Amino acid sequence: MTSLAVGPAPDVALARINPVTQLAAILVVTVVLLSSLDLVTPSIVVAAELCLLPAAGLTSPRAVWSRTWPLLTSAASVGVVNVLLSDDAPPLAGAALALRVVGLALPGVLLVASTDPVLLADALTVHWRVPPRFAYGALAALRLVPLLVVEFESVRLARRTRGVEGGSNPVAQARLFAGTGFALLVGAVRRGSRLATAMDARGFDSGVPRTNARGSSLHARDAVFLAGTVLVCGVAVTASISTGAWQPLFGG
Amino acid sequence: MTSTSGARAAPDATAGGPVGVVARGLAVRHGSRRSWALTGVDLVVEPGERLLVTGASGSGKSTLLAAVAGLLHDEGTEVTGELTVGGRPPAASRGRLGMLAQDPDSQLVMTRAGDDVAFGLENAGLPPEQIWPRVDEAMAAVGFVHGRDRPTHALSGGEKQRLVLAGALARRPGLLLLDEPTSQLDPGGAALVRDAVARVVADRAATVLVVDHDAAPWLPLVDRVVELVDGGLVEHGTGWRPAPRAAGLRLPAATAGPVLLAADAAGYTYRGTAVPALRPTDAALRAGRVLAVTRPNGTGKSTLALLLAGLRAPTTGRVDAAAGLASGVRRGGTAPHRWRAADLVTRIGTVFQNPEQQFLTGRLRDELALGPLRSGEHAAAARATADGLLERLGLTEFADANPFTLSGGQKRRLSVATALATSPEVLVLDEPTFGQDARTWREVVTLLAEQRAAGRAIAIVTHDADLVDVLADERIRL
């Protein structure tokens, strides 16, 4: 269960880049990937992103797969579906779409793998003036997610003790899943309100301007990181245009 | 309080001494209820005093605590009489309050121990350079030895509660409210928390209000004890001791029958972990006998319950039902984990530690009829079974109520009753007396003894030494 737990991030290279810098870089990458439909741009961006995997501590194929399999499956299905459902889309267009999905989502995987959620909340409140009520409230809620997974298993077993199980009937399975989900929701709401009371009792959101014990600072390396991102995106766009692959989404 | 030059003055949460609590003629009625949860409560707690408020479940302890904590106002609740904390209305004194509640998992916010203790100081607007010394001081005060960088998710329940206490203490509260802080912990964890409380209350820097139905363990730590009885308050003199809950209990005798269910070197290892949750274990459940499974700490005993209950397949060894118990199952032979749920409920009844996880319907009567219906009984027969059980448990007046609205003790009785509704020959119970007051404890023990006398085989996994003393015929210590 500990692998699910929301905890401090491991000491990896990417963790030294401020979370808001990473968010800004994600914004740059997103704009570039959404501006053209070609294959060259996402190929170069994804290649650069893959180079960052070790910096986020994702070195073994197993670690990479466990973090990215939902992403890879959905990217593959996006590509296949687009080729199948479109009259004139060549397989290459499907590959370009799939690669674009990977390119958009991989930075998020890198951020999550290398960032302590507390430091993310700190950075958001310090640098971007996100209200603490939102940032730390979301953080507290995030901590309850692993508990939900444990709880789901308990509720499922508890239902079997009452003679309720889906068996091999998919409709019955789906109904059971929905019922279990409802029981979990009830539990989550109760737990959430207890947590809110506990945070309240420690003066959270009581009108006093909040200080930050850890602080959050930006260094020269943050500027370098962002510049590097812009550079990679520039190279990708230049390569795409000069090879004639560029297919702007708007205008063109 | 010292204040560094240039820094804002520390807010009220971090200044001032202990505060007292005064209640005169306090009465509280919750929105949807007809009866009063509290009536005529007169109570004076001097600043620095340490008070234990005890009472059975449903006696109004939680309501009194919520009133003192200033949490009653936004729930459509009627409050009469007078209540002040530090001479002001409770809601106005909330900044001087420190709280430790029951559930260790819904009180921590941060991912690292030190950050969590700092959380309340950040909220109070304390300058960062003053925060860390106070964090270290608070962690030392509660005896938290793992350091600031310890991930909070890796802590045991008792350690989490210690950390929550440190987080409350760091704010230098004038009043500490402890709401059954050990009720969800095993004995080792409970001892950790009481040890931390003992260290913290020694200097009387804060007034302390402990609320717990289990009075005995707190007696060395408090100055006086009051008990809530029928909504009013009774003051106990010095030297008061709660009556032992097993006193005068007469349980029906039973004779041992054949083995119905046996574990043969059954063990369990979770996927992806190296250390088994349960090492290979032998156990035999006989008709008319109670087998108690104990273990000082840890979760291995609940795992054994899951194996015996047919809810998980052992990863080593086996669990087998006797031929008589397994006769008539449509699938799975003698291995309970392979039985269909409908076959399982008429043979092995299971009661979880948390009753709410097992409730599936919106009415008590439906809840009790569910098992019989699922196992193929006719509607009329299922309803008759349900009504019979409601009557025996004294829950008839709640037949149409939602199970979630019952008190803790009533929920526990209902969850045992739902397992009995399908007349299984084997009962497996996980901590059936956990967090229960003396009255519910006696009811549960009596109910189980009756089942034993009726020839059922019962397995109980528990930390409760009293329960083992009065009920166990055989014991396994993991």
| B198 occurs within a structural domain | yes
> Where do the DSSP E strands lie in B111-230?
175-179, 207-211, 224-229
Alpha-carbon distance B427 to nearest alpha carbon in chain A (angstroms): 11
Pairwise CA distance, residues B340 & B86, whole Å: 60
Contact between A203 and B103 using a beta-carbon 8 Å cutoff: no
Report the SS3 class of residue A94. Answer: helix
pLDDT at residue B299 in the model: 62
A-facing residues of B in 356-415 (CB < 8 A) are 356-360, 370-371, 374-375, 404
Instruction: Supply φ then ψ for residue B466, to 5 degrees.
Output: -65, -40
Whole-angstrom distance, CA of residue B336 vs CA of residue B312: 9
Give the list of residues 6+ apart from residue A227 with CB closer than 8 angstroms, or none: none
**A54, A106, A160, B114, B119 from A216: Cα distances, Å:** 24, 24, 49, 16, 15
Q: Does B73 touch chain A (CB under 8 A)?
A: no
Least confident of A118-127, B111-120, B178-187, B280-289: B178-187
Together in a domain, B212 and B319: no
User: Which amino acid is residue A246, in one-letter code?
Assistant: W
Mean model confidence pLDDT for chain B: 89
Same-domain check for residues B297 and B445: yes
Q: What per-residue string of b and e applies to B159-173 under the rule 16 or more CB within 10 Å gives b?
A: bbbbbbbbbbbbbbb
- CATH number, domain of B338, equals 3.40.50.300
Q: Are A168 and B341 a contacting pair, CB within 8 Å?
A: no
B173 at interface of A, judged by CB pairs closer than 8 A: no
Tell me what the mean pLDDT of segment B266-292 comes to.
91
pLDDT band at A251 (very low <50, low <70, confident <90, very high): low
B209 touches chain A (CB under 8 A): no
Q: Are residues B300 and B173 part of one domain?
A: no
pLDDT of amino acid A40? 93
Sheet of strand B259-268: strand arrangement: B278-286, B259-268, B316-321
Residue B165 forms contact with A (CB below 8 Å) = no
**Nearest chain B residue to A136, by CA:** B109
DSSP letters of A145-206?
A: HHHHHHHHHHHHHHHHHTT---TT-HHHHHHHHHHHHHHHHHHHHHHHHHHHHHHHHTTTTS
Question: Which residues sit opposite B291 in a β-bridge?
Answer: B459, B474
Whether residues B133 and B92 share a domain: the answer is yes
DSSP letter for each residue of B5-73: TTSPPP-GGGSS----EEEEEEEEE-TT-SS-SEEEEEEEE-TT-EEEEE--TTSSHHHHHHHHTT--G
Q: What is the mean pLDDT of residues B103-131?
A: 94
Contact in structure between B288 and B296 (CB atoms under 8 Å): no
Of A13-17, A95-99, B13-17, B355-359, minimum mean pLDDT range:
B13-17
- pLDDT score for B298: 62
Which A residues 55-84 touch B at CB under 8 Å?
A: none
Residues of chain A neighbouring B103 (CB-CB closer than 8 A):
191, 194
pLDDT of B180 strictly over 60: yes
SS3 B361: coil
Mean pLDDT of A9-16: 87
Higher pLDDT, A251 or A194: A194
Q: What is the DSSP letter of A234?
A: H
C-alpha span between A188 and A13 (Å, rounded): 35
Angle between helices B157-169 and B187-201 (to 10 degrees): 20
Closest CA to B182 of B192, B170, B172: B192
A37 touches chain B (CB under 8 A): no
- pLDDT of amino acid B358: 87
Q: Using a CB–CB cutoff of 8 Å, tell me whether A19 touches chain B.
A: no
- Higher-pLDDT residue of B288 and B353 is B288
Compare all CA atoms of chain A with the CA of B341 and give the residue at the minimum distance: A163
Residues B26 and B160 both lie in one domain: yes
B418, containing H or E segment: helix B408-420
Query: B6 lies in a domain?
Result: no
In this structure, is residue B447 part of a structural domain? yes
* pLDDT higher than threshold 90 for residue A95: no
pLDDT at residue B3 in the model: 38
> CB burial class (10 A; 0-12, 13-18, 19+) of residue B307?
buried
| Chain B neighbors of A155, CB-CB under 8 A | 357
**Residue B35 domain flag:** yes
Whether residue B242 is contained in a domain is answered as: no
Across the interface, whether the CB atoms of B358 and A201 are under 8 A apart is answered no
Q: Is the pLDDT of residue B341 over 70?
A: yes
Q: Are residues B198 and B269 in the same domain?
A: no
Q: Point out the domain boundary residue: B236, B271, B303.
A: B236
B269 domain-assigned = yes
- Cβ-defined contact of A158 to B352 (cutoff 8 Å): yes
Residues of chain B with Cβ-Cβ distance to A200 below 8 Å are 94
In residues, how long is chain B? 478
Q: Do B228 and B269 fall into the same domain?
A: no
Distance CA B368, CA B364 (A): 6
Helix/strand/coil for A129: coil
Instruction: Test B108 with A143 for CB contact under 8 angstroms.
Output: yes
Size of interface A-B (CB pairs under 8 A): 170
Contact B443, B413 (CB under 8 A): yes
Which of the four pLDDT bands, split at 50, 70 and 90, describes residue A150?
A: confident
How sure is the predictor about B74, in pLDDT bands with cuts at 50, 70 and 90?
Answer: low
Compare all CA atoms of chain B with the CA of A140 and give the residue at the minimum distance.
Answer: B109
Q: For chain A, what is the largest distance between any 2 Cα atoms, rounded to a whole number of angstroms? A: 67
Residue A50 tokens read as 């893959």
Contact B311, B459 (CB under 8 A): no
Is there a contact between B123 and A203 if contact means CB atoms under 8 Å apart? yes
Whether residue B380 sits in one domain with residue B309: yes
Q: Mean pLDDT across chain A, nearest whole number?
A: 87
* DSSP annotation of A248: B
Among all residues of chain B, which has the CA nearest to that of A182?
B360
| Alpha-carbon span A91 to A81, nearest angstrom | 11
Q: Does B131 touch chain A (CB under 8 A)?
A: yes
B13 pLDDT band, cuts 50/70/90, is very low
Angle between helices A117-127 and A132-161 (to 10 degrees): 150
Boundary (domain end) residue, out of B173, B203, B236: B236
In this model, does residue B33 exceed pLDDT 80? no
Using CA atoms, how far residue B76 sits from A151, A194, B92, in Å, is 31, 18, 19
Looking at residue B392, its amino acid is R
- At B7 the pLDDT is 40
pLDDT at A1 (0 to 100): 36
Residue B277 inside a domain? The answer is: yes
B13, B151, B360: residue with CB nearest A164 = B360
- Asked if B352 lies within 8 A of A2 by C-beta distance, the reply is no
B369-408 pLDDT, tens digit per residue, is 999 998 888 999 999 999 999 988 888 888 998 888 887 7
Is A207 in the B-facing interface, judged by CB distances under 8 Å?
no
In this structure, the answer to whether residues B190 and B274 fall within a common structural domain is: no
Percent of chain B clearing pLDDT 70 (strictly above): 95
- Binary contact (A208, B123; C-beta < 8 A): yes
Tokens of residue A153, six digits:
């298993």
Range of the domain at B124: 12-236
Nearest CA of chain A to the CA of B182: how many Å?
A: 16
Q: Which amino acid is at B81?
A: G
- Which pLDDT score is estimated for A4? 54
Shared domain for B300 and B414, answered yes or no, is: yes
Domain membership flag for residue B109: yes
Report in angstroms the alpha-carbon separations of B53 from A42, B43, B300: 66, 11, 34
Q: Dump pLDDT digits (tens) for A44-66.
A: 999 999 999 999 988 888 888 88
Q: B174 and B39, same structural domain?
A: yes
Conformational region of residue A138, where left means phi above 0, alpha means psi within -120 to 50, and beta covers everything else: alpha
Check if the beta carbon of residue B45 is closer than 8 Å to that of residue B18. Answer: no
Looking at the 3D structure of chain B, how many domains does it have?
2
Q: Say whether residue B144 is in contact with chain A using an 8 A CB cutoff.
A: no
Contact (CB<8Å) A161/B107: no
- According to the model, what pLDDT value does residue A217 have? 94
Q: Are residues B272 and B315 in the same domain?
A: yes
Q: A135 contacts in B (CB within 8 Å)? A: none
Q: Nearest-CA distance from B101 to chain A in Å?
A: 8
Residues of A in contact with B124 (CB under 8 A): 203, 208
- On chain A, the residues whose CB falls within 8 A of the CB of B73 are none
Extents of the domains making up chain A:
13-122+216-242, 130-201
